Amino acid sequence: MRLIQRTNGTELSSPGRDFLAIEGLPASELRRLLDHAEALLPAAVGDVRAEARLAGRVVANLFFEDSTRTRVSFEIAAKRLGADIVNLGASGSSASKGETLVDTARNIEAMGVDAIVVRTAISGGAALVARHVECPVINAGDGRHEHPTQALLDALALRIRLGDLTGKRVAIVGDIANSRVARSATHALVTLGSHVVVVGPPALVPVGFEELATGPGSITISHDIDSIIGDIDAIMMLRVQMERAAGNGIAPDYRSTYGLTAVRRNKLRPGTPILHPGPVNRGVEIDDIVADDNRDSVILAQVSCGVAARMAVLLRAIDR
């Protein structure tokens, strides 16, 4: 932390320590993070004590959009590693008085924090903050753009269940257009060599989404869940993002056309893991009986993997 004002016009960044997107992350780096997160899993869930490698460090959680899992997960991850964490939300901060995201972040940085975790409704907002502060910035979800730590935890939960993800067929079903989870997961899976099938109503699947594929894997688009459900290795259900206006076009028959109902679950190959990033809208994209299935629902395992993934990302950002 510098105590002297920097020269105006110079853009700041922490190359190699920010964690802003999965797009562009080399496969080797993604695998290294997954291996590290997997090794940290027993400490993440409290079975063993983690080494306090971040003792004396301070992490700021700037959450300008609502969150349950991600915010608490970063908080627990930081605490498990011995760091202190401060939480700031839109209400209760000067964001409600019109202070910009960048000004807020720069003021928090001036207090000497070691890393800033940002959640914002602005697509590209985390990268914007990263250009204006010196400390590492971690994207905890920026609008419709990316949610890179979610992709890490999704890939980890899948890898634990399926082994090497090369060649695996993973369906991502729902509101693809508005979902940063879908974008980040797709980038991660394609980088790891999986074949992603995105499934949703035409209005909620962007035209050209398959062109995101820049790895050994592939992306295909389907508007018919029943035609693909028997031929996949994993299925990830997504919430329709009402807060991003996706709800306007949601048909009352969404559950019957795209929901993972008990009847559809029975068409999955036995043992196919069922993922959902949460929050779950029960009875819309997934039925209770499917979400709570002890054998194949990995929804809570994803949450456990999330703490481990965020520990790995915090160590990459700060511990050097």
Judge contact between 128 and 106, C-beta under 8 A: no
Nearer to ligand NCD, 58 or 254 (CB): 254
Question: How would you classify the pairing of strands 115-120 and 58-63?
Answer: parallel
The distance of closest approach from Cβ of residue 184 to ligand NCD in the complex, given in angstroms and rounded to an integer, is 9
| Rounded distance between C-alpha atoms, residue 277 and residue 150, angstroms | 8
- 179 phi, psi to nearest 5 deg: -105, 110
Residue 269: other Cβ atoms inside 10 A: 10
Q: Is the dihedral of CA 111, 117, 120, 126 positive or negative?
A: positive
The distance of closest approach from Cβ of residue 103 to ligand NCD in the complex, given in angstroms and rounded to an integer, is 24
Nearer to ligand NCD, 58 or 139 (CB): 139
Nearer to ligand NCD, 120 or 150 (CB): 150
Nearer to ligand NCD, 58 or 152 (CB): 152
The distance of closest approach from Cβ of residue 179 to ligand NCD in the complex, given in angstroms and rounded to an integer, is 7
Nearer to ligand NCD, 170 or 181 (CB): 181
What is the distance of C-alpha 83 from the center of its chain? 22
Nearer to ligand NCD, 72 or 162 (CB): 72
The distance of closest approach from Cβ of residue 302 to ligand NCD in the complex, given in angstroms and rounded to an integer, is 8
The distance of closest approach from Cβ of residue 156 to ligand NCD in the complex, given in angstroms and rounded to an integer, is 14
Which residues sit at the interface with ligand NCD, rule CB under 6 A?
69-70, 141, 147, 150, 180-181, 239, 277-278
Query: How does DSSP assign 33-83, residue by residue?
Result: HHHHHHHHHHHHTTSSPPP-TTTT-EEEEEE-S--SHHHHHHHHHHHHTT-
Closest CA to 302 of 233, 217, 236, 225: 236
The distance of closest approach from Cβ of residue 154 to ligand NCD in the complex, given in angstroms and rounded to an integer, is 10
